[in-house]
Structure 1
Amino acid sequence: MTDARNRASGAGASRWRVDPATSRISFEARWMFGAHTARGVFERFAGWATLHDDGSLVGELTMDPSSVNTGIRLRDRHLQNRLFLDSGNHPVITFMSRDIRLDGPSLTGAGHLVVRDRGVEVPLRGAVRIDAEQLTLSGSATLDVRRFGWPTALGYIGRSLVVDGAISLERHA
């Protein structure tokens, strides 16, 4: 496989936009004293990326916390309320890449995630696939929910939240 910087090259950098129709951002967390796993997705999100010839990638992904869907409406409303995502007061979750490197089929680096005005650094490892018109990034991160001020006692969610992404981007002029 040719490495990402050669396959995406042109002069300087290539610009990309997230295609929500072919992308997915999902999450899962243990709850009810660890007896159950809650799974869900963000249904509305957008983003962009710039891939430089040296294999570095910068970009931003924004998610609408009111679009959380676990398949259980009561749970969705609970996640959107002030105790967790507080979508009424904080209508955007933002992930901004930092120091992300693409090297062949792998990506490594870190990003900054902001939920409810609380930011945390998130280490990233994942896979990349690139061709002339599509860039696909996939990977997962485990977050400590206490860093966002979320409760972990009394049967609420456990301390770890796993976020998984399969993000397809299309070349943008």
Structure 2
Amino acid sequence: MTTWKIDAAHSEIEFKVKHLMITNVTGHFGEYDATLTTSKDDFTDANISFEANVNSVSTKNTQRDEHLKGEDFFDAANHPKISFQSTEVKKKDADSFVLKGDLTIRGTTKPVELNVEYAGVTVDPWGQTKAGFELSGKINRKDFGLTWSATTEAGGLVVSDDVRLILAVQMIKQA
């Protein structure tokens, strides 16, 4: 069995949500950890666990970040972590997979599917073996208890229910 750990310095964990239904607001988590274990070189039997610190959320707007950490959204005081545990990896072709797993946000766990593009394995200048992956998917925030909403004067939503997940992940093979 081979274990891989996330290289947080070379990875990005982002989400995008429509604001006023006309533009996207991008947020990211600055503190997170992930472990991948596999016995196959093609990662088809991978077991992946991921955890993000809710208090590390950033949208480049302090007031919005505090609102996201509060009871209207993530409720970081009571639910400080977002977690994911894989349940299945399904290979579509040489470089594409569907990753299924259980995502837990705000104490609610739901199954999700993420599309995965495998970028390959390489050895960095310091002798570390690294694997790269791009993951994407979509969740409905209300499925996880993030139900805060407001409408504009014209009746439009301030924040959409759909949240796009975009992860660029570099994993380091452990000795």
TM bucket (normalised to shorter chain) is: 0.7 to 0.9
1:118 to 108, 112, 117: 108
What is the aligned length? 160
Which residue does 1:46 correspond to in 2? 33
Q: How big is each residue's C-alpha offset from its partner over 1:24-76, in whole Å with a ceiling of 9 and x where there is no partner? A: 011110123x1332111111111100122272110111001111111000000
Q: Percent identity?
A: 23
Residue 131 of structure 1 aligns to a residue whose secondary structure is strand
* Code of the aligned partner of 1:131: V
Say whether 1:139 aligns with 2:135.
yes
Flag structure 2 segments of 5+ consecutive residues without an equivalent.
Answer: 123-128, 152-157
**What is the aligned counterpart of 1:160 among 156, 159, 162?**
162
Do structure 1's residue 26 and structure 2's residue 14 form an aligned pair?
yes
| Distance (Å, rounded) in 2 between the aligned partners of 1:164 and 1:27 | 6
Q: Is the 8 A contact 2:82 2:105 kept in 1?
A: yes
TM-score (norm: length of structure 1): 0.86
Letter in 2 for 1:74: Q
How big is each residue's C-alpha offset from its partner over 1:151-173, in whole Å with a ceiling of 9 and x where there is no partner?
26323421100010011110012
What SS does the corresponding residue of 1:59 show, helix, strand or coil? strand
In the other structure, the counterpart of 2:144 is 148
Q: Is the 8 A contact 2:99 2:116 kept in 1?
A: no
In the TM superposition, residue 139 of structure 1 has moved relative to its aligned partner by 1.6
- Closer, same or farther: CA 39–65 of 1 in aligned 2, 3 Å: same
Distance in 1 between residues matched to 2:115 and 2:23, nearest whole Å: 27
Structure 1's unaligned 5+ residue stretches are: 1-12
Q: CA RMSD in A?
A: 1.6
Aligned pairs (5 A) from 1:4-83: 13-32=1-20, 34-53=21-40, 55-83=44-72
Aligned position for 2:119: 129
Between 84-93 and 146-155, report the one with greater CA deviation. 146-155
Q: Secondary structure at the match of 1:78?
A: helix
Matched residues in 2 for 1:109 and 1:26: separation? 17
